[in-house]
Amino acid sequence: MSTRSANEAIADMFDTIADVLELQGDIPYRIRAYRNAARTLRDLERPVEEVASEGQLEALPGIGKDLAEKIREYLRSGRIAKYEEVINQVPPGLIELLHIPGLGPKRVRLLHERLGIADVEDLRRVLDQGLVEGLPGMGKKTVENIRRGLAMYQASKERMPLGRALPIAEEIARQIAALPGTSQVVIAGSARRMKETVGDIDILTIAADGAATVQAFVHFPQVKEILAAGDTKGSVLLHNGLQVDLRVVPPESYGAALHYFTGSQAHNIKIRTLARERGLKVNEYGVFRGEKRIAGEREEEIFQALGMPWIPPELREDRGEIEAALANRLPRLVRLEDIRGDLQMHSKWSDGANTIRELALAARALGYEYIAITDHSPRVRVAGGMSIDAIWQRQKEIEALNAEFDDLHILSGAEVDILPDGSLDYPDDVLAALDVVLVSIHSGFKMSQEQMTERILRAIENPYVHILAHPTGRLIGQREPYSVDMEVVLKRCAELGVAVEINGYYLRLDLNDVLAHRAKQLGCTISLGTDAHQATHLNMMRYAVGMARRAWLEPEDILNTKPLSELLVWLRRRRPA
């Protein structure tokens, strides 16, 4: 087993233990402990073996003595006794049912006890037979929500969130690059385009011995099943269910293959059509005039042969990027290095795993000029939202740290809950004392579109509000966006000068690329934040930037590309005179 897959394997076991405990009605604290530990392991950027060998497991967020011992048990033996104990207590299909949006442990227990369902196929059958409606708490609307949740779950099994797939792909790419005779190893496909979910992973390389490279690849420790293994292509299924394809390409075709396997299909079709109109042929082997190859070694050559500049991968969706390139009107897309700070993160003052100092040190390591500490307001009880007294105490800590640091400024902020009537979870005098105010919704997702739209509009009318955070409330593969007229909301944000967020946490990516592009068209300012709940989450800024690039955003569209002095002016401008 590879070091990277140990992180995933233990996280999966912890999540399964939490699933079973939830099904059995165990105490929420214990369930949450396993969930938090699983998230920590998935987000860990180092192999967990290294952390264990240094004796630092208990220093990881959410990993106490008991969980650390379970991790060591796995590293010693490949087993966790607690995991084996709990999975024998319930049918495995019931655990899977807990992952379906709209089905919680109480409903799963009810369906199991009343209708004998034991897996997804049983659920589909009883839904089709109309047996669910009429059970206690199972009205027509609830049954429809379960149907939608089942469809969402099936779709999520086919595609993995980018934030889970990309680190796996990067680890495998590193292993390929370490093989003798390989060069120019690159991840292609939807992962290179930074699409929010990934169906499979495509990796390209040049290799001195293609067959030997493929053989080494298909026997990597992460591989569960070999699907194909030839001289130039290997295809495998990993233990986590992700398919990875490796293609060994000749140097003269490398650029053409990279373009072809990056996609998207719609972009490639448009490129091939344009080539035919110019008497050329474009495929994965190169650009040809008749039988003569005229380009293909470098990706830039493909575009040059068609009279246009190189198009960044994130734009290749046939949404006007080819026309813009031909007219020399491609945007100067924002880059990760343009970001000067992170405008959403949570500390131990609410539900974060790190102190403000620890978050500040992590931000300094990234070269940031500023960060905003935006702990939750009291309404989000599960997140340990801050009381008003706690805000004043935290303010003293921030002031002390700002006096200490001369290369990083810490903004005192809050992520304030929008209440059902559109009012905010802190009074105006508290909001006025904060440097930056984000507002968001964490409850009441079932409102009608009209009610939800009015709720958000009322909230952003408050003159102390700076940023509308994760505006649609979606969780990729887990929760659909709530019903809201985003066109109306975005127009009003633009009129008021309220920024809208692209939340970089990998299960949110909210706004998505389509809505963020529309926000740009309407004149909105965009804020990028990671919603970090531990220091390592700050690295998820790359996903926010990826979404921004897919939305055609340039540095001037984004709030936190501003230097600190300009940011402070912008923040003050929102405030009443």
CATH of the domain at 307: 3.30.210.10
How many alpha carbons lie under 13 Å from residue 404 in its C-beta half-sphere?
12
Q: Are residues 310 and 379 in the same domain?
A: no
Q: Among the three residues 158, 175, 192, which one is the final residue of a domain in this structure?
A: 158
Is the peptide bond preceding residue 490 cis, with omega within 30 degrees of 0?
no
- Whether 41 is in a domain gets the answer yes
What CATH number does the domain containing 150 carry? 1.10.150.110
- Whether 195 is in a domain gets the answer yes
200-207 β-sheet, strand order: 182-187, 200-207, 243-248, 233-238, 223-229
Q: Among the three residues 248, 267, 299, which one is the final residue of a domain in this structure?
A: 248
Token pair of 515, please? 């809505």
Q: Are residues 113 and 143 in the same domain?
A: yes
Token pair of 68, please? 């650390």
Q: What is the pLDDT at residue 5?
A: 65
Q: Among the three residues 295, 326, 357, which one is the final residue of a domain in this structure?
A: 326
Is the Cβ–Cβ distance between 296 and 306 less than 8 Å? no
What CATH number does the domain containing 176 carry? 3.30.460.10
Read off the amino acid at residue 396.
K
Pairing of strands 233-238, 286-289: unpaired
CA distance 453 to 394: 33
DSSP code string of 122-187:
HHHHHHHTT-STTSTT--HHHHHHHHHHHHHHHHHHHSEEHHHHHHHHHHHHHHHHTSTTEEEEEE
| pTM given for the model | 0.85
Q: Are residues 145 and 209 in the same domain?
A: no
pLDDT in tens, 228-241: 999 999 999 998 88
The strand pairing partners of 376, in sequence order, are: 415
HEC sequence for 310-360: CCCHHHCCCCCHHHHHHCCCCCCCCCHHHCCEECCECCCCCCCCCCHHHHH
Read off the amino acid at residue 510.
D
Q: Are residues 391 and 532 in the same domain?
A: yes
The strand pairing partners of 424, in sequence order, are: 418
* Dihedrals phi, psi of 191, to nearest 5 degrees: -65, -40
Nearest to 414 by CA among 392, 443, 439: 439
DSSP-derived letter for residue 385 is: P
The strand pairing partners of 558, in sequence order, are: 526
- Whether 420 is in a domain gets the answer yes
Read off the amino acid at residue 187.
I
| Cα-only R_g, the chain | 25
Q: Are residues 375 and 481 in the same domain?
A: yes
Per-residue pLDDT of the chain (577 residues; tens, 9 = 90+): 333 468 888 998 998 899 889 888 888 888 989 998 998 898 887 889 999 999 999 988 889 999 999 999 999 998 999 999 988 888 878 888 888 888 888 889 889 889 989 888 999 999 999 999 888 988 888 898 899 888 888 877 788 999 999 999 999 999 999 999 999 999 999 999 999 999 999 999 999 999 999 999 999 988 999 999 999 999 999 988 899 999 999 999 999 999 999 999 999 999 999 999 999 999 999 999 999 999 999 999 999 999 999 999 999 999 999 999 999 999 999 999 999 999 999 999 998 989 999 999 999 999 999 999 999 999 877 667 899 999 999 999 999 999 999 999 999 999 999 999 999 999 999 999 999 999 999 999 989 999 999 999 999 999 999 999 999 999 998 888 999 999 999 999 999 999 999 999 999 999 999 999 999 999 999 999 999 999 999 999 999 999 999 999 999 999 999 999 999 999 999 887 6
Q: Residue 529 belongs to what H/E stretch?
A: strand 526-529
- Whether 90 is in a domain gets the answer yes
Q: Are residues 272 and 169 in the same domain?
A: no
Pinpoint the alpha helices (H) of 223-296: 254-262, 265-277
- Whether 331 is in a domain gets the answer no
Q: Are residues 138 and 11 in the same domain?
A: yes
Token pair of 522, please? 């309407």
Is the Cβ–Cβ distance between 71 and 52 less than 8 Å? yes
Nearest to 501 by CA among 516, 486, 482, 485: 516
State how far the alpha carbon of 12 is from the alpha carbons of 35, 37, 244, in Å: 10, 10, 20
Q: Are residues 460 and 550 in the same domain?
A: yes
Q: Are residues 175 and 120 in the same domain?
A: no
Q: Are residues 421 and 439 in the same domain?
A: yes
Q: Are residues 142 and 213 in the same domain?
A: no
State how far the alpha carbon of 346 is from the alpha carbons of 30, 382, 386, 547, in Å: 22, 14, 11, 22
DSSP code string of 550-563:
HTT--GGGBGGGS-
* Dihedrals phi, psi of 123, to nearest 5 degrees: -60, -45
Please give the residue range of the domain that contains residue 188: 160-248
What CATH number does the domain containing 547 carry? 3.20.20.140
Q: How many domains in the chain?
A: 4
Q: Are residues 194 and 130 in the same domain?
A: no
